[in-house]
Structures are given as C-alpha cells and as structure tokens.
Structure 1
Amino acid sequence: MPTKTYYKLVRDRIPEIIEADGKTCVCETLSDEDYLTLLDQKLNEELTEYQESKSLEELADLLEVMQAAVKARGWTLEDLERVRADKAAKRGGFEKKILLKEVRE
C-alpha cells in the first residue's frame, strides 16, 4: 500500500474521515509555537487556493483559518471585528471600488 507524506495542518475531523475511508494516518498534536507557524502557512495556502478558484468555499476556508489564528494568538473574534470596524470608520472600506493611480507632491 503506497504512503503519501504530508506535513500540514488539517481540520480536526480529517483523521476520522481518512480512517472511515479505510486508510490509516499518523498525526501528532502540535506545540503552540508550531501551531502558530503552521496556521500562518495554512493562511497562505488557503489564500492561494482562493486566488486560483475564486470560490466561496475557499473564502470560507480562509475565514476558518483566520478565526483559528485570531484565537491562537490570544485575541477574540470581537477584537478582530472591533479593529476592522475602527479601520473602516477611519479609512473606509472598499465599497466605492477606488483605484489610486498616482499622488503628486
């Protein structure tokens, strides 16, 4: 039986899904430091997947990893929303579709 090697952070239920498919997997629980490192890698992976597919599913995956990163760094989703809202109030959002082309001195 062939073995495929991964070294990536996966969702919590992936090992049971693999085993329900009749396969065996080897997993470990990460240290907090390694978890943060792999969360950052996962953010990049999910962003790349969204950029390639432009799918709502990939945006949902990106949001899931963002929420995990917020919690892992000791913040709350309320903290994240507060910072987002403050920035939007001070600098605006992106609804007006403004392209900044140049600034002259």
Structure 2
Amino acid sequence: MPTKTYHKLVRDRIPEIIEADGKTCICETLSDEDYISLLDQKLNEELAEYQESKSLEELADLLEVMQAVVKARGWTLGELEQVRADKAAKRGGFEKKILLREVKEGC
C-alpha cells in the first residue's frame, strides 16, 4: 500500500475516519505556537478553496477555522462579534455594494 505524506492541520475526527477506511495514519499533537501557525496557514488554504469554488461548504470551512483561531488566540466568539459590530456601527457594513472609484484632495 502506498504511503502519502502530509504536513497538514486536519479536523479532529479525520484520524478516526482514515482508520475506519482501513488505513493507518501517524499524527501528533501540536504545541500552541505551531497550532496557531498552522491555523493561519489553514485560513489561507480555506480562503483559496472558497475563492475557487464559491461554495457554501468551503465558506463554512473558512468560518470553522476562523472560530478555531479566535479560541487559540485566547479571544471569545462574543469578543469577535463585538469588534465586528463596533466596526459596522462606525464604518458601516457592505450591504450597499459601494465601489470607491476615486478621491480628490481639496477643491
């Protein structure tokens, strides 16, 4: 049986899914520092996958990784939502579909 090598952060149940498929896998538990670093890489990976597919499933994966980053960095989802709401109150959201084309200085 061929062996495929990875260096990839995966969801918690992936090892049991692999083993249920009759395969074996070698995994390790990351240090907090390595975990955050790989989460940051995973954000880029999931964003690229969403950009390619534009699927709701890939967007959900991106949200899952974002939630993991929030927790890994010691924040709460409530804090994240509060920062988002504060920014929306001060600067608005994106509902009006505004494209900024140009800004001129003075008169």
Query: Aligning the two structures, in what range does the TM-score lie when normalised by the shorter sequence?
Result: over 0.9
The one-letter code of the counterpart of 2:90 is: K
Counterpart CA distance in 2 for 1:96 and 1:6 is 43
Task: State the shift of 1:62 in Å.
Answer: 0.2
Which residue number corresponds to residue 82 of structure 1? 82
Equivalence for 2:4: 4
1:42 shift after superposition: 0.2
**3-state SS in 1 of match to 2:12:** coil
Check if 1:55 corresponds to 2:55: yes
SS of the residue 1:75 aligns to: coil
Aligned mates of 2:104, 2:24 — CA distance in 1: 62
Aligned residue for 1:65? 65
TM-score (ref. length: structure 1): 1.00
What code does the residue aligned with 2:39 have? L
Q: Distance in 2 between matches of 1:56 and 1:11?
A: 18
Using the TM superposition, give the Cα deviation of residue 15 of structure 1 relative to its aligned residue in structure 2, in angstroms: 0.1
**Following superposition, which runs of at least 4 residues in structure 1 exceed 6 angstroms of deviation?**
none
Classify the secondary structure of the residue corresponding to 1:66. helix
| CA–CA distance in structure 2, aligned partners of residues 5 and 98 of structure 1 | 45
2:26 counterpart of 1:26: yes
1:27-68 C-alpha deviation (Å, 9 max, x unpaired): 000000000000000000000000000000000000000000
Question: Percent identity over the alignment?
Answer: 90
From the CA coordinates, give the structure whose radius of gyration is larger.
2
* 1:11-34 deviation line (CA, Å, top 9, x unaligned): 000000000000000000000000
Question: Which 5+ residue runs of structure 2 have no aligned equivalent?
Answer: none
- Give 1:84 shift: 0.1
CA distance in 2, matches of 1:103, 1:92: 19
